[in-house]
Amino acid sequence: MRIEKYHIDEHNHQLLLQHQRRLNCLSQEYAPIEGVLQKLLDFQVAIPSWALGTGGTRFGRFSGKGEPRSLEEKIEDVGLLHQLNRSSGAISLHIPWDIPTNVAQIKALADEHGLIFDAVNSNTFQDQKGQNYSYKWGSMQHVDKRVRQQAVEHNLEVIEWGKALGSDSLTVWLADGSSFPGQLNFRRAFENTLESLQQVYAALPDHWKMYVEYKAYEPNFYSTTVGDWGQSLLYATKLGPKAYTLVDLGHHLPNANIEQIVSLLLMEGKLGGFHFNDSKYGDDDLTTGCLKPYQLFLIFNELVEGMDARGMNHARDLGWMIDASHNLKDPLEDLLQSVEAIMIAYAQALLVDRKALEEAQQNNDVAAAQELLQGVFRTDVRPLVAEARLRAGGALQPLQLYRSLGLREQLVGQRGSKTVASGL
Ligand SMILES: [Mn+2]
C-alpha cells in the first residue's frame, strides 16, 4: 500500500499557513536555519523489522490488527512511515525471522519504497527449529565448542544475507551470561565469546562494521557476558578496526550517564551505532522520548559535539536505529512518535551555541552552561522538523495524516485482524 501524493499535498496545504507562522518565529530566534534543515533532511533512522507487529511481555502478547504477515508487508509498512516522515529510509532485518524468499524481489520492493537495508541482526538468544544444539546455556560463551561453532556459523550466514541485500553492518547482541553466582567462569566465558566473535569478524567484508551490543541484565540476572560499554569496548578493541560498540538506550543500569558514555566512545572512535527507545525501570523498550526527552537531548548534544570534533558525517558515520517493542499502541503510530522525538532532540542539539557553551565551560560558569542547554531544550523545534519533512515531500503532521487517511483500517482490510508478525 502506498499513500497517493495528492493526499500528502492536501494535508500540507491545509496546515501550511499555521506552519509558516510557527517556523518564522523560530527562524527569527535561530537564524540561519538552512544548515540545520539540510542536516535534518539527511538524517535517517532505520526501522527494525521486528517492531512492526505488536510485541509482548513474558506474560502475554495481545495482538494488534493488520500486522504485516511477511517480509514484503514489513517493507510496505516502513515504506508508509518513510512516505509520511521522510526520515525512515532504512529497514534493519532480523535473521532468521526475516529471511527473504527471493532476494532480488525484496531488493526491488525496498527500492520502490526508497528504502535501504541497514544492519543485519543475528539471533542466538533462542533455539530455532531443527538446530543441533541448544542455546539454553549461552551461545558464544558456551562451554561446549560445538555450540559456539553453531553460533558462529549462524552469524556467518547472517553476513551472507546482508551481503546479498546490500547491507554493510552486522549487529551482534548476545543473551549470554549467568543467573546464579558460581554458574560461570567469567574469564572463560569472555574468552570463548571473544574467540567466537573473532571468527565472525574474520568473515566481515572490508567495508563492513560489526556492532557489539551490550546489556546490563535480562534474560540473565547475575552476569551478562557483554554487560556494559566497557566490556563491549574490550571486545571491539581486541577484534579490530571494523568492530564498534553499539549503545542501546535501554541496556543500562538505572540512572547511568549515557551521554558521557557516548562522548568517550566517540573520543575513542569506537561508537558504532545506536538503538533508540525509552524506559523508566529497565529495558522497557518504550517509545523514544516518551519519558526522558531531556536525556535524549543531552545524548544528542554529546553526539553532535563528538561527531563534529572528529569531522564525522552525522547521517552516515554512525548507525541509527529504533529498537522498541510496541505492546499497547499501533506500532506504526508508535514508530512515528519515536522518529519525531529523535528528530526533535537532534534538531535541538544542532541549535546549541557551541562557542558560548565552551566559553561557559572554560570559565566554570555552570549556571550559564545550564541556561544554554535548557534554553534550547525548552524551545519548540517541531516547526523545524516539520519544515524538513515538508521539503522532502513528507507530511507536516505524519501521525495526523496517518489517522485521517485511516491507514491502519486499510491495512486491516487487506491483511485481516488476526495477523501476527514475527518479532519481539
Ligand atoms: Mn537493541
User: According to the model, what pLDDT value does residue 423 have?
Assistant: 56
User: According to the model, what pLDDT value does residue 421 have?
Assistant: 76
Q: Which grid coordinates belong to 55?
A: 510485541
User: According to the model, what pLDDT value does residue 168 have?
Assistant: 98
Task: Specify the amino acid at residue 212.
Answer: V
Give residue 379 CA to ligand 1 midpoint distance, Å. 30
Give residue 322 CA to ligand 1 midpoint distance, Å. 8
Phi/psi at 257 (5° precision): -85, 85
Give residue 323 CA to ligand 1 midpoint distance, Å. 5
Give residue 396 CA to ligand 1 midpoint distance, Å. 29
Q: What percent of the chain has pLDDT over 70?
A: 99
Average pLDDT over residues 49-61: 87
Cα–Cα distance for residue pair 139/35, rounded to 1 Å: 46
pLDDT in tens, 306-349: 999 999 999 999 999 999 999 999 999 999 999 999 999 999 99
Give residue 283 CA to ligand 1 midpoint distance, Å. 9
Give residue 136 CA to ligand 1 midpoint distance, Å. 20
Give residue 247 CA to ligand 1 midpoint distance, Å. 8
Give residue 254 CA to ligand 1 midpoint distance, Å. 16
Give residue 169 CA to ligand 1 midpoint distance, Å. 14
DSSP state of 128: P
Cα–Cα distance for residue pair 340/37, rounded to 1 Å: 14
Q: pLDDT at residue 94 above 90?
A: yes
Top-ranked range on mean pLDDT: pick from 1-15, 58-72, 410-424: 1-15
Q: What percent of the chain has pLDDT over 90?
A: 94
Give residue 250 CA to ligand 1 midpoint distance, Å. 8
Give residue 276 CA to ligand 1 midpoint distance, Å. 8
Give residue 249 CA to ligand 1 midpoint distance, Å. 8
CB distance 217 to 224 below 8 Å: yes
pLDDT in tens, 353-412: 999 999 999 999 999 999 999 999 999 999 999 999 999 999 999 999 999 999 999 999
Rounded to the nearest angstrom, the gap between the alpha carbon of residue 228 and the centroid of all alpha carbons in its chain is 18
Round the CA-based radius of gyration of the chain to a whole number and report it. 22
Q: pLDDT at residue 424 above 60?
A: no
Give residues whose Cβ lies within 5 Å of ion ligand 1.
Answer: 248, 275, 323
User: According to the model, what pLDDT value does residue 80 have?
Assistant: 98
- Res. 350 pLDDT band, cuts 50 70 90: very high
Environment class of 182 (CB within 10 Å of its CB; exposed 0-12, middle 13-18, buried 19+): exposed
User: According to the model, what pLDDT value does residue 63 have?
Assistant: 82
Q: pLDDT at residue 249 above 80?
A: yes
CB atoms under 10 Å from CB of 19, counted, come to: 18
Give residue 246 CA to ligand 1 midpoint distance, Å. 8
Average pLDDT over residues 409-423: 85
Cα–Cα distance for residue pair 369/375, rounded to 1 Å: 10
Give residue 303 CA to ligand 1 midpoint distance, Å. 18
Q: Which of 336, 356, 321 is nearest to 402 (CA)?
A: 336
CB distance 87 to 343 below 8 Å: yes
**C-alpha distances in angstroms, 256 versus 222, 253, 262?**
18, 6, 11
DSSP state of 170: E
Q: pLDDT at residue 417 above 90?
A: no
Give residue 173 CA to ligand 1 midpoint distance, Å. 7
Question: pTM to 2 decimals?
Answer: 0.97
Query: Mean pLDDT over all residues of the chain?
Result: 96
Q: pLDDT at residue 31 above 70?
A: yes
User: According to the model, what pLDDT value does residue 422 have?
Assistant: 64
Cα–Cα distance for residue pair 292/279, rounded to 1 Å: 8
- Residue 256 CB partners (closer than 8 Å, separation 6+): none
pLDDT in tens, 131-172: 999 999 999 999 999 999 999 999 999 999 999 999 999 999
User: According to the model, what pLDDT value does residue 56 have?
Assistant: 82
Give residue 255 CA to ligand 1 midpoint distance, Å. 18
Average pLDDT over residues 239-257: 98
